[in-house]
Structure 1
């Protein structure tokens, strides 16, 4: 069922004209089933989808980011996909600015903006209008920290961060050398832990410029991990190795932000001789499981989020109806019409 009636669109605009503009959000860990469900929701509520994935912004990174091909988007506009080349940086602040502009444009067309993704900081920065600050840089310090990691291992670097910023260390995987170095660099240049600065940037998290309907998907951990492993196998079958090889041959640096994404980092290690194929796949599956765990941890602390346990709804129609009820409770919709 689609929601394309122009009269109903105008009625929605009139009903919300004096209130905060609506923003619909669907989050959850990787492989939980957000993409397929988002298409149903978007058609039912007249939405345009905004990708809330930090890596889908990059062109040529399709398989490893589980990017939905245009032919499978069922005519629903998707935003913030393929807007950067892989060698270009793209930060949470960049996402916030681009997403805010997209939301404004979508509202202007009388549609509902619908963020779908799993990058917690990116999504939350838009929902609660975080105030990002410039923290400076110190290239010499970065080089020293990289040398330390090369000489003594990533664990030594992670322990160094834990000593000055335990909150940030707890959120970062010990092998995430790039982000650990950045957190240490911020402490070095500002004298304050990154976690404190992030809390300050978030400001009053109770305040949002939007009328929010936030839905989070979860499922049994063992089942989620099984889905993750099967997704990795499918990506490999679809040509993930060739995709990463193509990026490297095109001159994308192995230390580029884009190449630190799950799948790309591990497969690049195999292609450059740092590990063999079997170990690269093991690392990819392990790192993706760890990533899903961190996603769940982040979203559990996100206020206003209403969780839906996918396992509690054996039929997709029942799951869809439950989510419709949550959204209809936030926005003025006729639930019987939407879910019929």
Structure 2
């Protein structure tokens, strides 16, 4: 069994996951089925980075209530994160957790990372030279030429990609060239990697969410984000990489340290960027009709998930 709790940033996913884990461990029926307990697998693109704690709102080790956490603090800040690498390593963690007869609980708000872990989603290879070839062709002859080429070898993909979308056309032709398969064969089909998967989507009231985001942005700077960022920038062995430096909060902290922004301006900019991110996350998760919606203001979210897990266990025992 694989269970996920997803939702926008600052929606309370981490606290709910820990509350759920403790409640499950107190249930005799659960511990009989999962004697190894519960282990959490993170699905946050920036919590992968070591040393980026305050700005990514990681749950500190001393507040994890003894629940093992995975896919947190696994990359140095100068490393470029990869969804394909995350998929590989996170699935290894899930299988290891299941081999320990424990329940893997995936928690995060990075939609593509969650989907990469839970769904039958392929990440075809890339080749800079092949991609450059098709990009140069697009620059010379336009998207219409690439669209004609794609229509000849993968009509289904051509029907889904407009001629003006040269970026996707280049990628589609690159994949076909490298794999010998239609581009559409590599697209997600909406099926789970593991059949016994349950996904829950935490949807706070928009006004409450905005208030929590604003408070979190202020707390980050009060709580030492500038010092943390300065330390990251000063690390000669693993300096802050391009991707990590663009993370919301760190981008603003760097601007403050360089004298380009005041702290109040940085707090407001961080809050605004985070609110915008939360809207994108909400749109992403709403599109997935497989997710069970949870509303923090209504309560009983922990009980709802526990009941669903028990229902799934009962169904499995009859098959």
TM-score bracket relative to the smaller structure: 0.7 to 0.9
Name 1:204's counterpart in structure 2. 189
> Structure 1's 198 and 324: CA in aligned 2 closer, same or farther, altered over 3 A?
farther
**Which sits farther off after the overlay, 68-77 or 128-137?**
128-137
> Structure 1's 286 and 304: CA in aligned 2 closer, same or farther, altered over 3 A?
same
Name 2:72's counterpart in structure 1. 81
Name 2:88's counterpart in structure 1. 97
Name 2:301's counterpart in structure 1. 319
Name 2:202's counterpart in structure 1. 217
Query: Structure 1 regions of 5+ residues with no counterpart?
Result: 1-21, 142-161, 166-182, 334-340
Deviation at 1:129, TM superposition (A): 2.6
Name 2:116's counterpart in structure 1. 125
- CA distance in 2: counterparts of 1:199 and 1:214, whole angstroms: 26
> Structure 1's 278 and 36: CA in aligned 2 closer, same or farther, altered over 3 A?
same
- CA distance in 2: counterparts of 1:321 and 1:74, whole angstroms: 19
- CA distance in 2: counterparts of 1:296 and 1:208, whole angstroms: 23
> Structure 1's 198 and 105: CA in aligned 2 closer, same or farther, altered over 3 A?
farther
Name 2:246's counterpart in structure 1. 260
- TM-score normalised by structure 1 residue count: 0.71
**Which sits farther off after the overlay, 253-262 or 106-115?**
253-262
- CA distance in 1: counterparts of 2:264 and 2:281, whole angstroms: 26
Name 2:22's counterpart in structure 1. 43
Superposed, which structure 2 residues align to 1:112-261 within 5 Å?
A: 112-137=103-128, 164-165=164-165, 184=167, 201-251=186-236, 256-261=242-247
Flag the structure with larger Rg. 2
- Residue-pair matches, total: 266
Give me the CA root mean square deviation: 2.7
Name 2:263's counterpart in structure 1. 277
**4+ residue segments displaced more than 6 Å:** none
- TM-score normalised by structure 2 residue count: 0.76
Deviation at 1:104, TM superposition (A): 0.8
Q: Quick check: 2:202–2:295 contact (8 Å CA) kept in 1?
A: yes
Deviation at 1:250, TM superposition (A): 1.6
Give 3-state SS (helix, strand or coil) of 1:38's partner. Answer: helix
> Structure 1's 267 and 106: CA in aligned 2 closer, same or farther, altered over 3 A?
same
Matching of residue 107 in structure 1 with residue 90 in structure 2: no
> Structure 1's 201 and 55: CA in aligned 2 closer, same or farther, altered over 3 A?
farther
Matching of residue 330 in structure 1 with residue 316 in structure 2: no
- CA distance in 2: counterparts of 1:191 and 1:275, whole angstroms: 43
Q: Quick check: 2:163–2:169 contact (8 Å CA) kept in 1?
A: no
Of the candidates 23, 26, 29, which is equivalent to residue 8 of structure 2?
29
Deviation at 1:107, TM superposition (A): 0.6
> Structure 1's 277 and 137: CA in aligned 2 closer, same or farther, altered over 3 A?
farther
Q: Quick check: 2:6–2:107 contact (8 Å CA) kept in 1?
A: yes
- CA distance in 2: counterparts of 1:255 and 1:86, whole angstroms: 6
* CA deviation map 1:59-93 (0-9, x unaligned): 10110111111111111110111111100111111
* CA deviation map 1:197-230 (0-9, x unaligned): 9976443213432411111100111110000001
Name 1:336's counterpart in structure 2. none
Name 1:299's counterpart in structure 2. 285
Of the candidates 36, 43, 49, which is equivalent to residue 58 of structure 1?
49
